[in-house]
Amino acid sequence: MIEVRGVSKRYGRTTAVDGLSFEVLPGRVTGFLGPNGAGKSTTMRLIMGLHHPDSGEINVNGRRFVDSRYPLSEVGAHLEARSVDGARSAFNHLLALAYANGLPRSRVTEMLETVGLAGVGRKRVKGFSLGMAQRLGIAAALLGNPPILLFDEPMNGLDPEGIKWVRDLLKGLAAQGRTIFVSSHLMSEMAITADHIVVIGHGRLIADAPASELVSRQAARSVLVRSPRAPELAEALQRAGAVVNFGQDWSLTVSGMDAARVGEFAAEAGIVLHELSPQEGSLEEAYLELTAAASDYHGVLGG
Ligand code: ADP
- CB burial of residue 116 (10 Å; 0-12, 13-18, 19+): middle
Residue 11 Cβ < 6 Å to ligand 1 = yes
Residue 179 CA, ligand 1 centroid: distance in Å? 24
79, 152 Cβ separation under 8 angstroms? yes
What's phi and psi for 222, nearest 5 deg? -135, 130
**pLDDT tens profile 98-112:** 998 899 999 999 999
Kindly report the average pLDDT of the chain as a whole number: 87
Tally of CA atoms within 13 A in the half-sphere of 116 that contains its CB: 11
Strands 222-226 and 252-255: antiparallel
Q: How far apart are CA 296 and CA 249, in angstroms?
A: 31
Confidence of residue 2 (pLDDT cuts 50, 70, 90): very high
Q: Which residues pair with 24 in a beta bridge?
A: 2
Task: Provide the percentage of residues in the chain whose pLDDT is more than 70.
Answer: 91
Residue 80 Cβ < 6 Å to ligand 1 = no
Edge-to-edge, what's the strand order for the sheet holding 275-278? 243-246, 252-255, 222-226, 275-278
181, 202 Cβ separation under 8 angstroms? no
Which region holds residue 273: left if phi is over 0, alpha if psi is between -120 and 50, else beta?
Answer: beta
Residue 202 Cβ < 6 Å to ligand 1 = no
Residue 83: predicted pLDDT: 73
47, 4 Cβ separation under 8 angstroms? yes
Residue 39 Cβ < 6 Å to ligand 1 = yes
Closest residue to atom 16 of ligand 1, CA basis: 37
Residue 220: predicted pLDDT: 60
274, 230 Cβ separation under 8 angstroms? no
Closest residue to atom 23 of ligand 1, CA basis: 11
Confidence of residue 250 (pLDDT cuts 50, 70, 90): confident
**pLDDT tens profile 127-184:** 998 889 999 999 999 999 999 999 999 988 888 888 899 999 999 999 999 999 999 8
**Continuous segment of H or E residues that includes residue 139:** helix 130-142
Q: How far apart are CA 285 and CA 65, in angstroms?
A: 35
Higher-pLDDT residue of 229 and 280 is 229
What's phi and psi for 99, nearest 5 deg? -60, -45
7, 52 Cβ separation under 8 angstroms? no
Residue 299: predicted pLDDT: 38
Edge-to-edge, what's the strand order for the sheet holding 55-60? 14-24, 2-11, 55-60
Amino acid at 237: L
Q: How far apart are CA 197 and CA 195, in angstroms?
A: 7
The answer to which of 257-266, 267-276, 294-303 has the lowest mean pLDDT is 294-303
Residue 281 Cβ < 6 Å to ligand 1 = no
Residue 283 CA, ligand 1 centroid: distance in Å? 25
Kindly state the average pLDDT of the residues 184-195. Answer: 82
Amino acid at 271: I
Residue 297: predicted pLDDT: 45
Residue 139: predicted pLDDT: 96
- Residues whose CB falls within 8 Å of the CB of residue 275, separated by 6 or more in sequence, listed in order: 224, 225, 226, 251
Residue 33 Cβ < 6 Å to ligand 1 = no
CA angle 165-170-176, nearest 5°? 125
Counting atoms of ligand 1 from 1, which one is nearest the CA of 17? 10
**pLDDT tens profile 34-61:** 888 899 999 999 998 888 999 999 999 8
Counting atoms of ligand 1 from 1, which one is nearest the CA of 152? 2
245, 257 Cβ separation under 8 angstroms? no
Q: Is the pLDDT of residue 248 over 80?
A: no
Residue 298: predicted pLDDT: 46
Residue 183 CA, ligand 1 centroid: distance in Å? 14
Kindly state the average pLDDT of the residues 237-253. Answer: 85
Residue 34 Cβ < 6 Å to ligand 1 = yes
Q: How far apart are CA 69 and CA 233, in angstroms?
A: 67
DSSP state of 258: -
- CB burial of residue 217 (10 Å; 0-12, 13-18, 19+): middle
Which region holds residue 225: left if phi is over 0, alpha if psi is between -120 and 50, else beta?
Answer: beta
